Structure 1
Amino acid sequence: MKGTTMRPAFRVPAVTALAAAAALSLAGCGAMVSAAPSSSSPAASATLSPSASAGGGAGAGGAATPGISPSPAPAAVDVKTYMFPNGHVSFKYPADWKVELFTGSGSPSDSATATVVDASGTKQATVYSGRIADGVSHPVTRTVFESAPVPGLAAQPAPAAQYAFYVDRMDSNATYRMHLAAGAPKSGQGTALDGIIRAGDGVIVADVQFIEKPFANDAAAKSWLAGTEGQALKALLLSISYS
């Protein structure tokens, strides 16, 4: 069910460079490293309930986002922690998945994309940490399924980082997204979200990788979210931290 999300976009003049292009250029001209988790010893692995990490769709104070029902609690899963070379950005992922790191040839610690691959070899998510970013914007009608603040990014500049799962519709096209959003997304008329999170002196961009049409309808999307894969990816996004 995973692949590259296709969505139309145009540049927002206020930002500097295209994050997607940055990730591709990193993969194309830099080095790819099959990354061992930073906590690689058996004692470092943890047991994590994704909904517990996520707060079950609840905010930092324990209150759910208004109008959005939290997904049910799944069984606990074993996780490992991955730390970027910069020593600041980290996230947790299922222990039987792996992380591959794509870096720029000049300063790998300043600009890198971690690609998370599941046990079957399917790319599930990407997390970018670096110093360049771009945004996209076009008019959409949004339906938000779930969102919640990311605890490990709470101290970073506003707008606050949010885990978000929603669908944007433009004309007859539906684009499903699960990613980090800058501020809580709202249902209704709006514009596409750029997903650029300011952290320290750089940015973080994190997206689940969907194929072009991953779900037949919104009910299928909600069903996937309640399952093992959806909850694991939700927990991954909510575990992203900057220190």
Structure 2
Amino acid sequence: MRPAFRAPVVTALAAAALSLAGCGAMVSANPSTSSPAASPSSSATASATAPSSASPGPSASAGGGAGGAASPGTTPSSAPAPAGLKAYTFPNGHVSFKYPADWKVELFTGGGSPSESATATVIDASGTRQATVYAGKIADGVSHPVTRTVFESAPVPGLAGQPAPAAHYAFYVDRMDSNATYRMHLAAGAPKPGPGSALDGIIRTGNGVILADVQFIEKPFASDAAAKSWLAGAEGQALKALLLSISYN
């Protein structure tokens, strides 16, 4: 289990968008928006196979697990979704995703009627905030030079029809000077290893934007090996499947 949460970039971006829309309201997922997934599709839980040769390595603050991570650009498999998932659909009816059945979703909506922005926070069974998904009209991003090591990336099937660059699930680490920033999120295009710029993660859709980020604390992993070990474990795989399940209709 990862330690206590800190708000990621996506939360700040969503908050900026919501401040333009006025006051908001927090609501919990209800039967009209969250229901058991009767027949999960392959796109909702597509995953890149991790090499079995890597040995498990404990992280400083993340749950370990056996195995390593697939190479960048690995195409997700068509394996069926695991049992025990729920589907959540935003009030706009366009954006949806799947998450473990014993987790919950809380929704914050912007002001106005109807609201033009909303942030879904996904919370695990222990009460830890694991991820946020934002759907709205506006978003902003920042960029700075980094050197990137990519652990995994794969196209998100449910967002394949949206404007380029194509949405990708991505897990990587950006280094700037002596600082390492680990990120698992939706990226606009496949992240490239080596020198580059930080990714804003803004996915453009037919009527707005989507941002989705796993919420890591500062310095969540002691090493890249620990990050790969966490990815191979139950928590890492659940969050990876969540990001790969995001769709727009």
Q: TM-score range by the shorter chain?
A: 0.7 to 0.9
The one-letter amino acid paired with 1:239 is S
The CA deviation at 1:135 is 1.3
Matched position secondary structure for 1:56: coil
Choose the corresponding residue for 1:186, options 170, 175, 192: 192
1-structure distance, mates of 2:17, 2:239: 20
Q: Unpaired runs of 5+ in structure 1?
A: 8-17, 59-64
Q: Does 1:93 align with 2:85?
A: no
Q: Does 1:111 align with 2:117?
A: yes
Deviations 1:143-199 (A, max 9, x none): 000000000000000000000000000000000000000000011000000000001
Deviations 1:28-84 (A, max 9, x none): 93100011254655xx434769998224269xxxxxx865678999x9341000000
Q: C-alpha root-mean-square deviation of aligned residues, in Å?
A: 3.1
The answer on whether the counterparts of 2:8 and 2:213 sit within 8 Å (CA) in structure 1 is no
Cross-structure match for 2:204: 198
**What are the within-5 Å matches in structure 2 for residues 103-142 of structure 1?**
103-142=109-148
2-structure distance, mates of 1:160, 1:167: 20
Q: Does 1:150 align with 2:144?
A: no
The answer on whether the counterparts of 1:147 and 1:184 sit within 8 Å (CA) in structure 2 is yes
1:46/1:233 Cα in 2 relative to 1: closer, same or farther (>3 Å)?
Answer: farther
The one-letter amino acid paired with 2:161 is A
1:29/1:137 Cα in 2 relative to 1: closer, same or farther (>3 Å)?
Answer: same
The answer on whether the counterparts of 1:176 and 1:214 sit within 8 Å (CA) in structure 2 is yes
Choose the corresponding residue for 1:30, options 24, 35, 51: 24
Matched position secondary structure for 1:124: strand
Cross-structure match for 1:3: 5
Deviations 1:102-160 (A, max 9, x none): 00121454200000000000000000000011111000000000000000000000000
Q: Greater CA deviation, 103-112 or 18-27?
A: 18-27
The answer on whether the counterparts of 2:33 and 2:91 sit within 8 Å (CA) in structure 1 is no
Higher RCO (C-alpha under 8 Å, 6+ residues apart): 2
Matched position secondary structure for 1:80: strand
The answer on whether the counterparts of 1:197 and 1:204 sit within 8 Å (CA) in structure 2 is yes
The one-letter amino acid paired with 1:146 is E
Q: Unpaired runs of 5+ in structure 2?
A: 51-69
Cross-structure match for 1:162: 168
TM-score by length of 1: 0.82
Matched position secondary structure for 1:155: coil
TM-score by length of 2: 0.80
Cross-structure match for 1:61: none
Identity of aligned residues (%): 77
**What are the within-5 Å matches in structure 2 for residues 30-69 of structure 1?**
30-36=24-30, 38=32, 40=34, 44-46=36-38, 53-56=45-48
2-structure distance, mates of 1:37, 1:142: 41
The answer on whether the counterparts of 1:23 and 1:128 sit within 8 Å (CA) in structure 2 is no
Q: Greater CA deviation, 25-34 or 208-217?
A: 25-34
Q: State the number of aligned residues.
A: 225
2-structure distance, mates of 1:102, 1:26: 14
The one-letter amino acid paired with 1:223 is S
